[in-house]
Structure 1
């Protein structure tokens, strides 16, 4: 799931007291850009609307970043990827990034500027992964591609450097799922940074109920993304789809969850932190006040989003350097 504002999403009186004017302006602009009009909404229509917003908000690349598009071998064919190199060279670690988009929208271009800025801020090479999505492909296709990207990095791509996984929303699902599946293996992730991740929390309680119709990720949005997936193929306890439903949270690396206060998924990151801490691991969860799902795209328009993005970048920098994040 990602920062798509469906026509039914609102930033009305329930949120006016907590959402700053600059973030409310971003929400209004997003709604205008992603309007899908009357009639049934298909994946193609939703993708076109989402891509329109991504192009509009694209902030370009910081000076000195170089990029290269390439493909890695996946279990069902080539997986398109994009490599970002900061001005100082590949750095001490490799970041693998999985984009958000409800497993339906998004790709290499949707998060291009975000990845470029993360790469420079962390001072390390970053590889963005264009995994297969619904409705054309179903579970576990997205996980299989995400895991294949980590396996490539562990075998050759990282050249022996530590690997840090990151992703937003549905990409956070994949980062957590891959980290859990890869633990104990050679080249297992050395850390993970999850940005408003969807991790399989209880949809009847907590932030899911409190923020059921939050701006940028309403119930109608979540219902649409769910409608594109065949959940008969997804066991309810499958940690590849629902990382929070794993039975073992031991052996995981340092984890940072950056959540948005006005987001139905806000509790997922906190619950994941608690599960890791209970298993003896290290984890941090931060709830960003007054922010909404998809705030990555508001980082140049909202003071709060800019500060939150700074904490994301600092987390990546620290984990790549083998240090605890100074948050």
Structure 2
């Protein structure tokens, strides 16, 4: 259907969707038309949500990135080894020597795995020239907070302590993620950058796609886009309830935009115009800048939450991911020049 002429796609998708001074990308609108149920549906249980995300991500992932080598690995987590996958970019002049991005998948802390984010990680490796290590972690509700945070901290600590094992050089390791994974990546960046933390265990850069920064957020974007744009307000509330026990909701590790952010590494944050999480991600960038952290914000006004794993939908998601990969490449280049 995406290969149909534009007038035909418009006829199927319906009139342009405009909200908050933005117009939704036609191919994304067509996808939403196909995926959105005609009648409101209750939030599915975790297992059904995982199966649904796995199915959708396979459909929209796009063609396989040529030339990227994949190596299945394990890394230590907080209580047991975690699955991991190393992506090695094709050899050539574009390769950034010694550079590694430790990537944490999204999925609302409940769903997602190495396979749902396989093509995204391969594309990041190919476009940035850096190696990418995708790391799994324990999911809620079977393993509620802080299990995911503990796993990501343990995995990142192992990678920075053994960079050669992953083809990286000391001091050339970044961290990144999307949605819940972006939240976890940002938490790793903040926790490892606190006073007294080992400098060798800090990321040099943070890449965040549409991060969740407040589980109980009440923003304008949540009101505007909390229904009909893939990620719903009901789903956010359900996943937050599965992930965090009520008694732990005030834990500072869950409130990334609050507290002292000074000392965090430079960051690139990409948001989507039609995403209920848009405003909290952009507020985080404001807070980082106020703390003296070099932070770049890129809003993609025509996209929705989850665009980073929708590389087979038209051209805009792939353009957005390529832009983020370029920011990562530039960050490593500037690091090498210092």
TM-score interval, normalised by the smaller of the two chains: 0.7 to 0.9
Structure 2 unaligned regions, length at least 5? 1-12
Indicate which of 17, 24, 27 corresponds to 2:29.
Answer: 24
2:109 aligned with 1:106, yes or no?
no
- 2:8 maps to what in 1? none
- 1:198 maps to what in 2? 212
- The question of whether the paired residues in 2 share the 8 Å contact of 1:203 and 1:209 is answered with no
Change (3 A) 1:298 1:55: closer
CA distance in 1: counterparts of 2:285 and 2:225, whole angstroms? 20
Q: Deviation at 1:92?
A: 2.9
Q: SS where residue 290 of structure 1 aligns?
A: coil
Q: SS where residue 197 of structure 1 aligns?
A: coil
Indicate which of 131, 136, 141 corresponds to 1:135.
Answer: 141
- The question of whether the paired residues in 2 share the 8 Å contact of 1:26 and 1:302 is answered with no
- 1:7 maps to what in 2? none
Change (3 A) 1:181 1:112: same
CA distance in 1: counterparts of 2:214 and 2:17, whole angstroms? 25
Q: Deviation at 1:223?
A: 2.5
Comparing 134-143 and 43-52, the one that deviates more: 43-52
Q: Deviation at 1:80?
A: 0.9
Q: Deviation at 1:135?
A: 0.8
Q: SS where residue 75 of structure 1 aligns?
A: coil
- 2:313 maps to what in 1? 301
Q: Deviation at 1:57?
A: 2.2
Aligned 1:99-178 pairs, distance under 5 A: 99-157=105-163, 158-178=168-188
CA distance in 1: counterparts of 2:40 and 2:215, whole angstroms? 31
Q: Deviation at 1:18?
A: 1.3
Q: Deviation at 1:202?
A: 6.3
CA distance in 2: counterparts of 1:39 and 1:286, whole angstroms? 33
Indicate which of 216, 219, 222 corresponds to 2:233.
Answer: 219
- 2:334 maps to what in 1? 322
| Higher Cα radius of gyration | 2
Indicate which of 272, 279, 286 corresponds to 2:298.
Answer: 286
- 2:44 maps to what in 1? 41
Q: SS where residue 177 of structure 1 aligns?
A: helix
- The question of whether the paired residues in 1 share the 8 Å contact of 2:43 and 2:234 is answered with no
Change (3 A) 1:303 1:118: same
Equivalences, count? 311
- The question of whether the paired residues in 2 share the 8 Å contact of 1:92 and 1:161 is answered with no
- The question of whether the paired residues in 2 share the 8 Å contact of 1:11 and 1:215 is answered with no
- 1:97 maps to what in 2? 103
Change (3 A) 1:285 1:201: farther
- 2:270 maps to what in 1? 258
2:81 aligned with 1:67, yes or no?
no
CA distance in 2: counterparts of 1:193 and 1:256, whole angstroms? 5
Change (3 A) 1:55 1:301: closer
- The question of whether the paired residues in 1 share the 8 Å contact of 2:182 and 2:212 is answered with yes
TM-score, normalization by structure 2: 0.84
Comparing 298-307 and 262-271, the one that deviates more: 298-307
TM-score, normalization by structure 1: 0.87
- The question of whether the paired residues in 2 share the 8 Å contact of 1:98 and 1:174 is answered with yes
- 1:5 maps to what in 2? none
Q: Deviation at 1:267?
A: 1.2
Q: SS where residue 243 of structure 2 aligns?
A: coil
- 1:209 maps to what in 2? 223
Change (3 A) 1:40 1:95: closer
- The question of whether the paired residues in 2 share the 8 Å contact of 1:214 and 1:263 is answered with no
